[in-house]
Amino acid sequence: MPSHKPEYGNFFEFKKEDVYHNRLKAFPEVDFFIYTGSVYYDNENQNRENPDIPTGHINLYDLNVNRANQGGELITPFVTKGGSFSSFKTITTSNLNLDFVLGDKLSGSYPLTASISIDTYDPAPTAAKQNVLYALRSTFDHYTILNPHYAYSSSYGNKVSQSLNLISVPSIFYGSSIKKGSVVLKYYVTGTLMAEASDTKRDGRLIQTTGSTTGEVIGVVLYNEGFMCITSSTNISTHTEAYKPADSTLYSASWHYFANTGSNSSVSSSYSLLFKGTNYIETMTMFAHAKENQLNYSNNPSFLSGTINAFVGGAIYHENSEAEIKNIISSSYKNHSASFKPVTYISKVGIYDKDKNLIAIAGLANPVRKLEERSYTFKLKLDI
């Protein structure tokens, strides 16, 4: 049981009713904007703020933050080849044995970043498309109890053989899961909103709410897994553009090309992806009590008046036992000392573990004046 430090080197133990554990549920908002093959996170250019992070990415461990701008050398992960044959996952055992000798240093790169990824699949069932969808097949079928549009294969279509747009969101952006009903997709052409879709029923269906095909289900959301699967290829505008990379053919604007990041030639279309995450924060609240007639002594030298330390016989250095406590009580009369009262000022609260090791210090913005007849309770809150 943690304890907090009182006077004279003793400790006050937190009682059972003084410590509370809570869990806060937060819904952080996330905003992605996609234009001409670039992704912008929360309306900022991450690469401009930190050249070591690509635009639209987030630094996973806050490594190499602006080190290049400040003239610092970038830190890198490394492993020295030795008898244990430890290596990086990306280096095979055969390459480690043939391409490196004992003592060679194997290096990687930081920072590690994450961003959304958008994969557009045409109706042809390619091997890459099949591998991705096979991995999600059981997940899709698991959620059919919510609505049949989740089904891997049904009357609404077969996900292997139909046009697909799969958006993957790393969990660092949303925490435990994406909040149900919070996903909003917006499709712009020359800055004008052409169509918007959201999960208005909170059952995973992305339903178009504005535009020429209002009411159509354009796809589904896997909230716990962080995937958005867009299955609609219906034209939403008469606007045409070269949406496909290395293909000059003009295609009509449709949800199938939503968030297209593989082509820099589609300069008239832009896309917005908004959602809220679900994040749980464990907190611990502790109440430290400073009761009456307690904590009215201080080790600060200014607490005593007169000679505090003394030499005895020129050999012993000790605290003067006759040093008096300084009276700082003010009087209403000039040149008159008020009655003595021990007064201290509490500026910090130290938290100790069961072995009396200092593990935390809580500082007060302004010291609190502690008189003998007064009692205080300090509320300490810690995210864990």
> pLDDT (tens digit, 9 = 90+) per residue, 2-28?
555 554 456 889 999 999 999 999 999
Q: Which residues contact 331 (CB under 8 A, 6 or more apart)?
A: 337, 338
165: nearest Cα among 228, 110, 216, 217: 228
Task: Please answer whether residues 128 and 135 qualify as being in contact, where contact means their C-beta atoms are separated by less than 8 angstroms.
Answer: no
What pLDDT, on a 0 to 100 scale, did the predictor assign at position 1? 45
Q: Which residues contact 355 (CB under 8 A, 6 or more apart)?
A: none
Determine how many CB atoms are found less than 10 A away from the CB of residue 159: 27
Distance CA 198, CA 182 (A): 7
- The residue that leads in pLDDT, 55 or 306, is 55
**Phi, psi (degrees; rounded to nearest 5) at 173:** -85, -25
CB-based burial label for 110 (10 Å; 0-12, 13-18, 19+):
middle
What pLDDT, on a 0 to 100 scale, did the predictor assign at position 2? 53
Q: Is pLDDT at 183 greater than 50 in this prediction? A: yes
What pLDDT, on a 0 to 100 scale, did the predictor assign at position 375? 93
- Residue type at 275? F
Q: Is pLDDT at 243 greater than 50 in this prediction? A: yes
Confidence of residue 36 (pLDDT cuts 50, 70, 90): confident
- The residue that leads in pLDDT, 120 or 336, is 120
Determine how many CB atoms are found less than 10 A away from the CB of residue 236: 26
What pLDDT, on a 0 to 100 scale, did the predictor assign at position 126? 87
Q: Is the dihedral of CA 140, 145, 149, 152 positive or negative?
A: positive
What pLDDT, on a 0 to 100 scale, did the predictor assign at position 71? 61
pLDDT digits (tens, 9 = 90+) for 189-231: 999 999 999 999 999 999 999 988 999 999 999 999 999 999 9
Distance CA 228, CA 248 (A): 28
What pLDDT, on a 0 to 100 scale, did the predictor assign at position 35? 92
pLDDT digits (tens, 9 = 90+) for 124-181: 888 888 999 999 999 999 999 999 999 999 999 999 999 999 999 999 999 999 999 9
Q: Domain segments of the chain: what residues?
A: 3-22+282-383, 26-45+114-281
- The residue that leads in pLDDT, 337 or 196, is 196
217: nearest Cα among 147, 274, 265: 147
Determine how many CB atoms are found less than 10 A away from the CB of residue 53: 20
From residue 79, give the alpha-carbon distance in Å to each of 82, 84, 96, 108, 111: 9, 11, 11, 9, 17
What pLDDT, on a 0 to 100 scale, did the predictor assign at position 361? 92
What pLDDT, on a 0 to 100 scale, did the predictor assign at position 7? 42
pTM greater than 0.85 (yes/no): no
Q: Is pLDDT at 311 greater than 60 in this prediction? A: no
Q: Is pLDDT at 83 greater than 90 in this prediction? A: no
Q: Which residues contact 147 (CB under 8 A, 6 or more apart)?
A: 203, 204, 205, 220
On average, the pLDDT of the chain sits at: 86
Q: Is the dihedral of CA 240, 243, 248, 251 positive or negative?
A: negative
